[in-house]
């Protein structure tokens, strides 16, 4: 068994979260109130297209640039007051770091592991949330850096290449089995399922934990045992 050398973290639901996020329904209601006929499903489709196709190709560094592309996809032009209010609404629900992330990520780095965030989410949305732990992260990989979304193996392959590790030397931690862990598992990366909301099953993963500190203790313990058995 290869010794673990790198720990990869999912972002949303693993390291950080948005409390009471602005829904497509709420944005649609506001747009209708301003005279713009944009349905929630249209908004959802446009946001998904920009997040998973346009952002990896072009990258966006602000809500204004990102929303301008969303509205361009919808062929809708809004006035400045409407755009400013939408941005204000979205900024009012920023990403926040989970408390255990503040200790687990430094624990990973201080234990000698290379560390990375792997996410399809646009960097400008969460970069401020990562500030308390940014110095403990070797890499933040989003769709723009990878040129693809997280469901594409190329994102993980690029992370491993930059970190200089093999799949067998890496562990991925995520809170969603299908979105975060099944693809890394197929690539040979070990997977730890984080069960924050007591909703997941531990099938098809290498470990099942309830917080990030427990995840790191599991990885460190495995590393010690692996060294002793080699």
Q: What is the pLDDT of residue 225?
A: 40
Predicted pLDDT at 115: 98
Q: Scanning the structure block, which residue is given the tokens 């990366």?
A: 189
The pTM of this model reads 0.92
pLDDT at site 166? 97
Question: How much is the pLDDT for 2?
Answer: 64
| Mean pLDDT, contiguous 10-residue spans, the chain (230 residues) | 87 96 96 97 97 97 97 97 97 97 97 97 97 98 97 97 97 92 95 81 76 94 48
d(CA 216, CA 59): 32
For the chain, list the domains and their CATH numbers.
6-18+95-229 (3.40.50.1000), 24-91 (1.10.150)
Asked if residue 215 lies in contact with residue 104, where contact means CB atoms within 8 angstroms, the answer is yes
pLDDT of residue 203: 62
């Amino acid at each position: 068994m290869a010794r673990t050398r790198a720990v990869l973290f999912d972002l949303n639901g693993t390291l950080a979260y948005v409390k009471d996020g602005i829904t497509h329904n709420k944005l649609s209601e506001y747009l209708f109130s301003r005279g713009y006929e944009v349905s929630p499903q249209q908004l959802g489709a446009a946001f998904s297209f920009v997040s998973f196709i346009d952002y990896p190709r072009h990258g966006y560094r602000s809500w204004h640039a990102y929303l301008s592309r969303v509205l361009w996809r919808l062929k809708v032009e809004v006035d400045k007051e409407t755009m400013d209010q939408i941005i204000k609404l979205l900024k009012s629900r920023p990403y926040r770091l989970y408390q255990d992330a503040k200790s687990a990520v430094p624990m990973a780095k201080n234990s000698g592991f290379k560390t990375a965030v792997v996410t399809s989410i646009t960097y400008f949305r969460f970069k401020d949330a990562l500030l308390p732990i940014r110095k403990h992260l070797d890499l933040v990989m989003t769709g723009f850096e990878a040129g693809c979304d997280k469901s594409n193996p190329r994102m993980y392959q690029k992370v491993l290449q930059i970190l200089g590790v093999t799949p067998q030397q890496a562990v991925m931690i995520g809170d969603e089995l299908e979105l975060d862990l099944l693809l890394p598992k197929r690539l040979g990366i070990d997977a730890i399922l984080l069960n924050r909301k007591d909703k997941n099953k531990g099938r098809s993963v290498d470990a099942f934990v309830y917080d990030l500190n427990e995840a790191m203790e599991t990885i460190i313990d495995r590393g010690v045992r692996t060294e002793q058995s080699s």
